[in-house]
Every structure is written in structure tokens, then in C-alpha cells.
Structure 1
Amino acid sequence: MLDTAAILMSHGEKVAYGYAEGVNDNMCQSHFHEFFELYYLESGERHHMIEGELYHLTAHEFIIFPPNVMHHSYGDKNVPFKRIVLYFTPDMIVYPEVRSYLLETARVFSLKKIKKSMIHLLLSMLHTELDKEEGLFQKEYLENLLNQLLLTILRADYTPVESTPRTRPAQAVNYIHEHYAEEISVSALADMLYVSPYHLCREFKKVTGKTIIQYLNMTRVLHAQRMLLETDYNITRISKETGFSNLTHFNRIFKSITGVSPSEKRKQYQSV
């Protein structure tokens, strides 16, 4: 499924809206963005793996992902779905307290019926405005609608959606997120979960779309990106603190995942 909204964000848009429907249309790998994502499930059912936790969403439930949170969605066989995604940059949230709250962690919401219709209305209004040619005070109007949507969600009487019991792949993902800075081997992970390396690797790739080593490298690079953005640590220290055995290996893996070297990525962050 082509994510045109994400493409728009990569071209510098502050807000982008995307709608999709399908069946047996599953993401092939975990990913993350450098912007917020609101994922609204309009109908059907979907599973979401969010940094080691697995959630089962049904119609009119939704998730708000902060930037740089790894996630991956998929559906059961032959179960159709319709979903809306709304992407937006952190600076579009005008209230610092709201921005800080939403940056803390991904949140999964299930709202009462009256609030569901309000959320859907505000999403529709945003979509309508984004489809128009640029007009008078359009940026300000979009910003106002977005903040009204977020405040409506956060003020609502909602039930947090609990994660489902952890499968072996989910336990493996959770262990990786908690111990990425340490040495992790597939065989040790399999022993810990009382399964053969072959079966663990097979189950893990089916759920995440990645091998265990690929997922581990992605997680380490994600944390390295955060350190490049949030600290003044040098590249050597960052490579050690994110679990890489040597600087050469770190540079090679980082560039293979992000397309640029760690030093180039830091320059990109500093230029924003």
C-alpha cells in the first residue's frame, strides 16, 4: 500500500491525511517516522505491534504515535479494514503541555459513541481543508482544527486499550527494546524463550517482517538517531551506548538504514 501522506510529509508538509481500505494488505516491516501519526481504524480489525507490545484494534479505536516509535500493523487473513492516518509535525501542536504529554509514549484509545462522531467530524474537516488549494489563513485554520482534535481526544472519557498477552515474537521484541545496548544473540534469545532458534526466527519474521538481527539493528539505529538529536555525544560514544561492537560496523549499519552517515544525520538535525 503506497503511503502518499508520508510522501507528502517527506516533501516538507506540516500535516497530511491518508485514507486506505483493503484486505490481506499487511505491512512488510516495522518502521518509524520523525513526525506524529494518528491512526484511526474506521472499520474492520487490525493488530499493531508497538515497541514490543501487541494491540488488537476494532472499529473506531485509534492510536497516536509520537515521533521515532517503531510500529507495525497487520490483519488476520481475509478480514477487510478501512483506516485513516493523519500525520503532523510536533510544532503544529500549539500548547507545550499537550506536546510534552503526547511525546511521552504511544497511546491507544477507545472512545464512547458520542465522542467517536466528534473525532470523525474533525478528521473530515481536516481532510476537506487539506484538499483545497491554499487559501487565506489556511495554515492557521489547519493548526486550529488539529489542536481542537487533539484536545477533544485528550479531554474525552476514553478507555485505554490494553495490550494483548505477549507471544514469543512480542516477548523477543520487548527484550530487544529493553536490552538493545547489550550483546544479544539469536541463540540466547531462543534459549530464554524455550524454543529453537529456527522456530523463533520463523515466528519473529512472520510478525515483524524482519529477521531478529535486522530488527535489533533498526532499534539500535533508532536510539542512535535520538542521541544525535538530543545529546552532544560524539559518534564513537553513541555507537557504544547503542550496542554496536565497533565504529565501522555502526557507520555501515546506520547508513544502510537511514541512507546517510551518523555525522550527516546530525548535520541534518542541526540545520532544521
Structure 2
Amino acid sequence: MIDQAGLRMDKGYQIACERIQGVNDNMAKSHYHEYFELYYLESGKRYHIADDTLYCLNSGEFILFPPYVMHHSYGDSGVSFKRLVLYFTKEMIAVPGVTDVLDQHAWVYKSDEKNETHALLRALLKEQEFNDNYSEEALYFILNQILILLLRNSTETAKPEKQSRITSIIHYLHENYTYPITLNELAEQFYLSPYYLCREFKKYTNSTIVQYINSLRVGHAQRLFMETDKSVTEISKIVGFSNVTHFNRVYRSVTGLSPSKSRKQAKERSAAMERHGIPGC
């Protein structure tokens, strides 16, 4: 299934919304974004892995992923679902305090005012399709209505599912990805054969262990590019690469850009948004 909202964000938009329904539509592998994702499940049941935690999402519940949080979703075989997904950048948030709350970790929660929140999401989707001279500001204000309503009226409801050995391994990777990690050492650490570990990890995350570690390292590097002035070489060492050449190659394979190009684009976006006040779409 093509992520049209993601394609819209790739084109430089600061907000994008999309409704999708399907059956047996499971993500190919864990991934992350440079922006927030608010996922509202209109019907059905879905499982979401956020970093090293597995959640079960039921109809009428939301999950919100901060930037750079590894995640993917899947459902039980034959169970249909319908969802609304909303992507938005930090710069689209009007109140700094809201950013601080949303940026802490992935949330799963159910709004006491879910009908109103759902109506605002539908209004945002309609406004995106309308797209006239006032749509940019309208999207900005509807988004902030949604966020304030959620924080004012919502409580976290979904608890993490029971931790398995694979979720323990994922937690270990999140805690230790800056250090050298080999398959044999990881298998020995958790008393598994390398073959079994690779098979079960792939089944659970739709990603190989090497791909998962590389995505963790690159995601953290992207955040450091946004938040610090450290050099590419310094950041490559911080996130666990032994040499900058390997870092450049992996970074490009994950993001499609070189580290220097990625940093330049981030600074250009930031400067453009400062000039315009309200982020442009």
C-alpha cells in the first residue's frame, strides 16, 4: 500500500493526512520519520511495535509516534481495518509545552472526546483536499485544536503487551546500538542459536538485525544533525560507526541522502520556516 501522506511530506509539506482501509496490510519493516505521526484506528484491531514495546490498538484508540521512534504495524490474518494517519512537523505545533509532552515517547490512548477529535481529523483531511489560499493556515489551526483536545481530554489506556524474548532483544539493541554488536554475541547473550534468532527477529520486525541496528544508528544521527553542530565524523562515532566512510554509505542507503546533504536540507528548512513564521505547506 502506497503511503500518499508520506509522499506528500517527502515533497516538503509540513502536514499531511490520509485515510486507508485494508486487510492483511502489514508494514514491510520497522521505520521512523523525521516528524510526528498520529495514527487513529477507525475500525479493526492492529498491533504496533514502538521502539522495543508492543501495543495492541483497538477501534477508537490513537497512537502517536514522536520523530525518530522506530515503529511498524501489523494485524491478525483476515481482520480488516480502517485508519486515519496524520503526519506533522514540530514546527507546526503552536504551543512549545505541547511539543515537550508529545516528544517524550510513543503514546497509546483513547480520547474521552473521540467523536470531536475524529471530526477534526476528517475536517483536516477535507481541508487538505480543498487546498486554496487559506488552507495552509486552516491546517495549522485544526492540527493544534486536535493536539490540545487530545492532551486535555485523553488518558493513556493501552498497556504494553507481555514482553517476549524478541522484545527483550529489541530493548537490548536500543540500549546498546552505539557499541559493536555481532550476531553470534547477541545469540549467545540470549541463549539462542544464530539461525533461530535471525528467523524470529525477521518474523517479528520484518527487518534483519543488521538493518535494524543501522536504522537505529542513522535515526539517532539525524536527530543529532538537527539538534547539534557536531561534525559528521563526530556523530558517526557517537552512534556506533567505526569509520566515517562506512557511516556515509549506510546513511545514504537508509535515507537516500549523504549526511552532509541531509544536514544542509534540514538547516534550509529551518531557516525557511523562521522567515515565514507559520510553516509553509
TM > 0.5: yes
8 Å CA contact 1:168–1:200 kept in 2: the answer is no
Query: TM-score, normalising length from structure 2?
Result: 0.91
Partner of 2:187: 190
How far the C-alpha of 1:180 sits from its partner, in A, is 0.7
Is residue 54 from structure 1 mapped to residue 51 from structure 2 by the alignment? no
Counterpart of 1:125?
Answer: 123
Aligned to 1:161: 158
Residue in 2 aligned with 1:39?
A: 39
Q: Which residue, 211, 218, 243 being the options, matches 2:240?
A: 243
Alpha-carbon deviation of 1:240? 1.3
Q: Equivalent residue for 2:95?
A: 95
- Tell me what 2:138 maps to: 141
* Aligned match for 1:226, one of 209, 223, 231: 223
Number of the residue aligned with 1:27: 27
Percentage of identical aligned residues: 48
Distance 1:128 1:8 in 2: 15
1:181-236 Cα shifts (integer Å, max 9, x gaps): 11111122222222211111101111211110111111111111111221122222
Return the alpha-carbon distance in structure 1 between the equivalents of residues 154 and 26 of structure 2: 31
Instruction: Determine if contact 1:19/1:84 at 8 Å carries over to the other structure.
Output: yes
Alignment-derived partner of residue 269 in structure 1:
266
Is 1:5 aligned to residue 5 of structure 2? yes
Paired position in structure 1 for 2:279: none
Q: Quick check: 103-112 or 209-218, which moved more?
A: 103-112
The match for 1:116 among 107, 114, 117 is 114
- Unaligned 5+ segments in structure 1 are none
Structure 1 position 157, deviation (Å): 4.3
Following the alignment from structure 2 to structure 1, what is the Cα–Cα distance between the partners of residues 163 and 67?
24
Measure how far apart 1:140 and its partner are.
Answer: 2.2
Structure 2: how far apart are the matches of 1:127 and 1:263?
A: 35
Tell me by how many angstroms 1:92 deviates: 1.4
Q: Aligned pairs, how many? A: 269
Query: C-alpha distance in 2, partners of 1:6/1:12?
Result: 10
1:61-89: CA deviation from partner (whole Å, max 9, x where unpaired): 11111122111111111111111101112
How far apart, in 1, do the equivalents of 2:19 and 2:223 lie? 29
1:254-265 to 2 correspondences below 5 Å: 254-265=251-262
Contact 1:30 1:71 in 2 (8 A): yes
Rounded Cα–Cα distance in structure 2 between residues aligned with 1:236 and 1:132 = 45
Q: Which residue of 2 aligns with 1:207?
A: 204
Counterpart secondary structure, 1:172: helix
Q: State the one-letter code of the partner of 2:32.
A: F
Aligned Cα RMSD in Å?
A: 1.4
Contact 2:108–2:157 (CA under 8 A) maintained in structure 1: yes
Which residue identity lines up with residue 63 of structure 1 in the other structure? I
* Structure 2, unaligned runs of 5 or more: 270-281
Amino acid at match of 2:104: E
Q: Which amino acid aligns with 2:87?
A: Y
